[in-house]
Amino acid sequence: MSGDSSKRSNLIDVTYQQLHTILSGHLEGVTQDHVSDILKHRVDHLRSLATPFGKPTDASKKRIDTGSVTLRDGVVLKVEDADKAYVFAVSKHFGIDEVEALVLLRSFLYNEGLPSDTGSNSSTSLIDELLDAITPFYYSEKLFVLRCLIPLFRATAVPDNPLYEISNDWVQKIVPDANSFAKTLIEEYKRKLQLDLPIELETQPKKAANWVKQNAREQLVMLEVLFWTMWDSATCDGYLVEQVYNAAYGTNLGSAQKNGALLMDEEGRQLGQDCAALWILLTIEVLELERVAEPGGIEISDNPRDQDIYWASPDSLQRIHHLVTTNQHSQFACSYLAWAFVLSRLAQIASELKEIPKQYSKFFENLISPADRSYQKDSQPVHSLMAHTCLQPDVGLFNLLLTLLTNSPFFVTAVAWRTGSTVTDPNAVAYRSVLKGLVIALMELVPVELVPDFEGLVDVWIALFGRSESKSVSAICRQFWQSDWSMGISRRAIFDVARSRFPILPRPLLRLLRAMTAVGFLDTDPLSTADHGTEGEQLDEDRELCARHVFYHFQRLPTFTQVVPASSCTGAHALYEKIPERYTSSSTVTPLTYTNLHPIKLPGGSLLPARSQGKLLNAEGGNLVVISWTHEHSGWKVILEILTDYVNRRRLFAGSSYHDISFGRKREQHTALGLKEIGVEMDEAGDEDIAVDALDLVRSVIQDNPVLAEAMLDALEAGDCVVSHTTTESSSPDLVQLTTTILEEALSRSDPQQKNHPRTSLITSTMSVLTALLALPKYSNRVWLYIRSTASLFGSEKNVGITSAVLAAERLTGHYTMTLALLHLVQQLLNEACSSVLNVLQHTPKLQQVKEEVLMRAARFGFVHSEIWIEHVGWKYAQVGDRFEIDWSSGGKFLHRGAEKCIALPSRCAICQID
């Protein structure tokens, strides 16, 4: 093939790292035709897993010796005699083809170049210096050859991807048989685990350690490629699933490294942990749990329609079952649970057959334990025994899942950044989707009410659905509300159990619902990063749908649970009584039923009519009776009750610092029960964690969603006032008043001069709620008035305010959660003031004066100008991103948006003069 030496070769100009960037969606200035042109001459490299750059050959050496080499794309390279020694040195050092060594050398010199001090050391040769300089480039290219396959595989499953058509075309050319490719990946991975250290490196510890780490990085990337190959390209047939499980168990999740002694430092341990995490995901992924759970997803017959699935091979089922059940170490708990779920479905399908196919008979016989062969009353299926084994505390299933979800680069972007992880795509939705299938399988396998560590399950659920960036969780949150919720009681059982304990134990339901809003983690979450926030962003469809589901679910709770002293069910002044049991011929055990003899006003203000019925939830005969009333009520009103009760308790606890503004007591026509009377266990000074959870749920639902925010506030103001409101005021405190009161009290309680720790979560949550409420014209005026009424937040000309000292405490830790929340609040105040300036000046000029006064205090005498914008450059930062976010929020964005929105009335609006 002839070529023109004056033509540039993209084999040299475009590195594999640059190609990966292009394939990952960074297409600026790159056409799809150009992408295809880059790929068409690299198919062999992308297909060759073991030796992407080939091996030295006599034929390639002769081509270099001729001084003229025609590359695969037809470009002719002239090789000077002086350059040949360097090309051959690169080829020998890395054990690669001589022509590929030439391309690698030219690409290195074109894209990176030699260090500026090359040749200055007389004790080393130029060749040795070149080899030292090019080694990191070679290692990087070797990794990115594999990584280029990942965006190609991912794009084939997303029709909206700009490279969807190109990816489907080229994946077929690069990987014509995905199953064979997956098997080759596994074999090559196992080979790399047992590679011997090159002899020449045995006396060079530093270079030996680099070689071993590079080998471990390549193993990790191979597992990533395997994951994405199995995601949408390869079929999970029996042989391939066996290969995955044999490799995972045989290598002890990748820890059986021949040179593991050189991976004992922090980077080496991280690589080992990442490989183990990916093996856990792979062993779950290949079982296709979502398909297993679907009605009709599994077929057991002599001639199944789908032969390319593992349950179509009884022999594979038997071997996988033996492997899983004979390895019960806790690190395999996830795959053990996943296999238990598969067995449960197989057993269910088999029980519905008139006759088990002969080829499956041996497998199903092995599922029956010896103790179960004879009739026993208490016998349990093998899958039930396996599931209960997983839930034993010493197994640590939930701890393992929680560690993955909160401390692995596959699920936490911040961890990937902090550890410098080699993971190609941290926090991809697919990884989270795989674990979602496992958690859903657990709930279908074991009734949630029988899970011994319900709190652990709640923590795992929240970490899965609610502790990540919105873009990483919104899809699975939407899938749950639209699909899983209606597919059976078991999938939503965690919410039913939490609701059955609400409001006695309010936190589980509040936290679960907040996680399902698709907002992602909050700014107070240690896993969050400075740039994750969604404040002020356009509300996307997924977030809007999930928030709407959460709102309406919490608005119509069908039950209300309370704790009743047994003494209240007997005697002349009894409020409740037990309804006599009715015996029937049915074998179904029905719970005991109680009724109330008089109407009762419950927390939240709803009235429980006389003779309502409730089910007994605990064992009979104790001093306390737990009753779940069949009574529809609004959970949002209960939140208002919780916040009102919290304010009252803080006032009482603070003593003379706070006083009620009214004196007379309200006269209730019905028996009214407060939170304490129904059995909610709270600190006498108020349970701050419950208040934070309540505010976090509110702000997650209404953030950037004015329509739903209006609906929520209407729900809060509907009906009777809450029980905790005991004064003669015409109406109970609204959300704005409560939030502002809680914020002021939290600031006063966080004063560093009194050696108090800042109430970071509470302060941040209240500020965020006020920020969200400013978007509502009906309620924004209240926010302005309440903020103006307190000097604690922004201070005044004569009083600096408590906030100054409280936020200064953040400079000691380098985490600026409260500072950023305050900046967002000030920015929203400015946005609201500017957007409503025409209407306010025309109809309520006094309100305009209030707004100007608040903003002047916030911007001029408060933090935005004098204490943040001027000072922030010299602060300590735990995350560098915080510095840029503070700089933009306190300077550029603040002034830009203010000037942009107020430019219409510069002479009449004092807000425009803020600088």
Q: Residue 796 to residues 27, 131, 850, 856: CA-CA distances in angstroms?
A: 52, 66, 13, 9
User: Higher pLDDT residue, 534 or 516?
Assistant: 516
In a domain, 154, yes or no: no
331: DSSP letter:
G
Same domain assignment for residues 209 and 93? no
Radius of gyration of the chain (CA): 33
Task: Compute how many other C-beta atoms are within 10 angstroms of the C-beta atom of residue 454.
Answer: 17
Q: Which among 84, 106, 137 is the end of a domain?
A: 137
Cis amide linkage into residue 503, ω under 30° from 0? yes
Look at the chain and report how many structural domains it folds into.
Answer: 4
Closest CA to 457 of 495, 407, 412, 510: 495
Calculate the CA 443 to chain-centre distance. Answer: 20
Edge-first strand listing for the sheet containing 613-616:
557-565, 624-633, 613-616, 593-596, 576-579
**Band of residue 787 on the pLDDT scale cut at 50, 70, 90:** confident
837 or 915, which is more confident?
Answer: 837
Does residue 116 sit in the same domain as residue 186? no
Least confident of 116-120, 182-186, 452-456: 116-120
Closest CA to 770 of 761, 778, 779: 779
**Residue 548 exposed, middle or buried by CB count within 10 Å (0-12, 13-18, 19+):** middle
How remote is the C-alpha of 498 from its chain's centroid?
Answer: 21
Q: For the whole model, what pTM was predicted?
A: 0.91
113 shares its domain with 197: no
- Split at pLDDT 50, 70, 90, the class of 621 is confident
Per-residue HEC secondary structure of 765-799 comes to HHHHHHHHHCCCHHHHHHHHHHHHHCCCCCCCCCC
- Residue 776: what are its φ and ψ, rounded to 5°? -105, 115
From the list 632, 634, 627, 633, the residue with the least C-alpha distance to 613 is 627
Does residue 425 share a domain with residue 483?
Answer: yes
Is 402 found in the same domain as 276? Answer: no
Residue 866 lies in a domain: yes
Contact 774, 840 (CB under 8 A): no
* pLDDT tops 50 at residue 665: no
Q: CB 471: neighbour CB atoms within 10 A?
A: 16
Same domain for 131 and 184:
no
Identify the band that residue 328 occupies on the pLDDT scale cut at 50, 70 and 90: confident
| Per-residue model confidence as pLDDT tens digits over 436-492 | 999 999 999 999 999 999 999 999 999 999 999 999 999 999 999 999 999 989 999
Question: Which stretch of DSSP H or E encloses residue 559?
Answer: strand 557-565
Q: What is the model's pLDDT at position 725?
A: 74
Rounded distance between C-alpha atoms, residue 534 and residue 537, angstroms: 5
Q: Which residues make beta-bridge pairs with 77?
A: 69
Range of the structural domain that residue 438 is part of: 397-515
Does the structure show a pLDDT above 60 at 668? Answer: no
* pLDDT tens track for 702-753: 998 999 999 999 999 888 888 887 665 556 788 999 999 999 888 888 766 6
Please tell me whether residues 901 and 832 are part of one structural domain: yes
Together in a domain, 119 and 196: no
Residue 640 lies in a domain: no
CA 60/CA 92 separation, integer angstroms: 13
Mind listing the pLDDT tens digit for each residue in 796-829?
665 656 677 777 777 778 788 888 888 888 888 8
Arithmetic mean of pLDDT over the chain: 86
Q: pLDDT per residue over 409-419, tens digit each?
A: 999 988 888 88
Instruction: Report residue 284 as tokens.
Output: 């779950």
Q: Examine the domain organization and report whether 903 and 832 are in the same domain.
A: yes
Enter the tokens of residue 658: 């706070």
Bridge-partner residues for 613, per DSSP? Answer: 595
Query: Residue 760's closest CA among 526, 480, 584, 448?
Result: 526
Q: Is residue 415 part of a domain?
A: yes
d(CA 356, CA 350): 6
pLDDT band at 915 (very low <50, low <70, confident <90, very high): very low
Confidence of residue 907 (pLDDT cuts 50, 70, 90): very low
Identify whether 465 is part of a domain.
Answer: yes
**Which tops the pLDDT comparison, 388 or 657?**
388
Residue 59 domain-assigned (yes or no): yes
Q: Which residue type is seen at 202?
A: E
Domain assignment of residue 857, yes or no: yes
Q: Are residues 410 and 471 in the same domain?
A: yes
99-103, 181-185, 297-301, 795-799, range with the lowest pLDDT: 795-799
Sheet containing strand 600-601, strands side by side: 607-608, 600-601, 671-672
Which of 422-431, 538-547, 749-758 is least confident? 749-758
Show which of 231, 253, 286 is a domain's final residue: 286
742 and 871 both lie in a single domain: yes
Residue 375 clears pLDDT 60, i.e. is over it = no
Quick one: average pLDDT of 349-357? 90
Give strand ranges (E) for 566-700.
576-579, 593-596, 600-601, 607-608, 613-616, 624-633, 671-672
Backbone torsions φ then ψ of 666, nearest 5 degrees: -75, 145
- Asked whether the CA dihedral 54, 56, 60, 64 is positive or negative, the reply is positive
The token duo for 878 is 């735990």
Same domain, 799 and 893: yes
- Which of 94-98, 382-386, 670-674, 765-769 has the weakest average pLDDT? 670-674
Cβ atoms of 202 and 254 closer than 8 Å: no
Polymer length of the chain: 915
Residues 771, 527: Cα–Cα separation, whole Å? 22
Q: In percent, how much of the chain has pLDDT > 90?
A: 59
Out of 122, 137, 152, a domain closes at: 137
Q: How far apart are CA 175 and CA 184, in angstroms?
A: 11
- Name the band, by pLDDT with cuts 50, 70 and 90, for residue 533: low
Q: Examine the pLDDT at 910 and tell me if it is beyond 80.
A: no
Q: Mean per-residue pLDDT for 838-851?
A: 82
pLDDT confidence of residue 337:
97
Q: Specify if 445 maps to a domain.
A: yes
What is the percent of the chain with per-residue pLDDT over 70, rounded to a whole number? 86
**pLDDT recorded at residue 805:** 73
Q: With 90 as the cut, is the pLDDT of residue 314 above it?
A: yes
